[in-house]
Amino acid sequence: MKENECKVLKTLGQILTDREYKKLQWVHPDCEEEANENMNTNMEEQKFPSHLFLVAVSSESKLAVFWCRNDEKLGVKQEREFWPWCHEENVTNVIVITKSITPSASKGIRESRLRTDIFRPNELYRNITLHEAFPAMRRLEPQEKLNLLSKILRTTIDRLPPLSITDASCKYYGWNPGDIIAIARNWGGKQHPSVYYRHIVPVEHLP
């Protein structure tokens, strides 16, 4: 693999770990040895769509990663191959890594109704969450959301400041509309961080 492809693969592995995907199936044999040592790989011989890189499974979801390598763009031909396969295999989340994407393919992604995060390769050369300026962020559990809204803040979710689903942190962690995120930052050298909350919204719901 090329140097930059190795960088992409390293960050991709960190994304999958942080999203708590444990069982991985590497579709491309030449990439298996590049995998994170802590991940379990399981190669099976079967027919896959073009550009399918790997499939990952967690306790809550199944994710497919499509990577258009060698500077290929994602077009409608590939997109029409992806989504029927995803629905047949009960895939719930998708990551697409591509330098560019055609308008028709973008439309197909929206119509697929699958949670899809699109990354340009250079977005994955570094892990943004490891930057010193990146705040501590976590998604609240359902009971935590209920307590926050009803007992602590005494407000409704739509009154919380929004965070777009296309934000870099949302793409990294795979958060969904309706999730509430706790963000902790240290301001002005304070001993204890300040915590504030955002709720994830689709792009069309932004003011």
CB-based burial of residue 124 (10 Å sphere; 0-12 exposed, 13-18 middle, 19+ buried)? buried
Long-range contacts of the stretch 82-89 (C-beta < 8 A, 24+):
82/49, 82/51, 82/52, 82/112, 83/108, 83/112, 83/114, 85/48, 85/49, 85/52, 86/112, 86/114, 89/55, 89/62, 89/64
Read off the pLDDT of residues 146-197 as tens digits, 9 standing for 90 and up: 999 999 999 999 999 999 999 999 999 999 999 999 999 887 667 788 999 9
CB-based burial of residue 175 (10 Å sphere; 0-12 exposed, 13-18 middle, 19+ buried)? buried
What are the chain's domains?
Answer: 3-126 (3.40.1340.10), 131-205 (3.90.940.20)
Provide the 3-class DSSP secondary structure of residue 190: coil
Tokens of 150: 């009803």
Q: How far is CA 16 from the centre of its chain?
A: 8
- From residue 11, give the alpha-carbon distance in Å to each of 6, 67, 90, 97: 9, 13, 25, 12
Please, which residues have CB within 8 angstroms of residue 26's CB and are 6 or more apart in sequence?
Answer: 32, 35, 41, 42, 43, 53, 54
Read off the pLDDT of residues 55-74 as tens digits, 9 standing for 90 and up: 999 988 999 999 988 777 88
- Single pTM value for the model: 0.84
Specify the pLDDT at position 23: 83
Read off the pLDDT of residues 35-49 as tens digits, 9 standing for 90 and up: 444 444 443 444 566
Residue with tokens 């693999």: 1
